[in-house]
Amino acid sequence: MTGAHADRGLEMFRAGDFPLYTLTFVRGTSPAELLSRMGVDPESLALRDGMDLADDFGDDLYDDEEPVVATGVDGSWTWAWEQGGVHGLDERILSAVSRGTEAVALHYNEKPMYCFAYAVDGEVVVDFDTLQAIEPTGRDPRLLEEHMRPLGLVPGERAPLHGVLSLVENAFGIRLTEPAEVDDLRMSGRLSLLPE
């Protein structure tokens, strides 16, 4: 898939084979600033396409402790895509990337489950996961209720499989254009180990 699918929201994550990923979306920031706030190793930072990522990082692309992350911009949101890690869900990272703006973090794994978090100016406003019945927490856990209920994301109930993807698309207008494997250069690098 290439840029022709830009208007398809997050459809690639419904249709594709992505066993684990974490997406961090931040409104109105540059890819370099987003990666800096996430704690990227400056020496690993470079513009790369998919082939370069594979050549430079190999199996480390899927490292869960120091994950490789690639970025891009779609509309007003800058995204960071970890194929193996969960840095974007860490409250310290979420606080850093949302300072002065807003951020959405979305994690999926094969359990299957989604984790969702929405933060504004350094504070988590709403977060929940779908491993069990949904129980939103955060500063204002009911903030997104009008967007969640029509999608079957109801507190106390199990979530439909891709309901969280629809929430991210519908409530925030977020989409992600899958980078082409060749000649589609994206800022990328390795995230530093999270402190204990």
Measure the CA–CA gap between 193 and 50, rounded to whole angstroms. Answer: 23
Measure the CA–CA gap between 139 and 155, rounded to whole angstroms. Answer: 16
Nearest CA among 180, 162, 172 for reference residue 5: 180
Measure the CA–CA gap between 117 and 89, rounded to whole angstroms. Answer: 7
Q: Residue 47: what pLDDT?
A: 95
Measure the CA–CA gap between 29 and 26, rounded to whole angstroms. Answer: 7
Measure the CA–CA gap between 31 and 160, rounded to whole angstroms. Answer: 32
Measure the CA–CA gap between 64 and 69, rounded to whole angstroms. Answer: 11
Measure the CA–CA gap between 80 and 127, rounded to whole angstroms. Answer: 19
Q: Residue 8: what pLDDT?
A: 63
Question: What element of type H or E holds 123?
Answer: strand 123-129
Pairing of strands 77-82, 102-109: unpaired
Q: Residue 4: what pLDDT?
A: 36
3 state DSSP class of 194:
coil
Q: List the chain pLDDT tens, one digit each, 196 residues.
A: 233 333 468 999 998 888 899 999 999 999 999 999 999 999 999 999 999 999 999 988 889 999 999 999 999 999 999 999 999 999 999 999 999 999 999 999 988 899 999 999 999 999 999 999 999 999 999 999 999 999 999 999 999 989 999 999 999 999 998 888 888 899 999 999 998 8
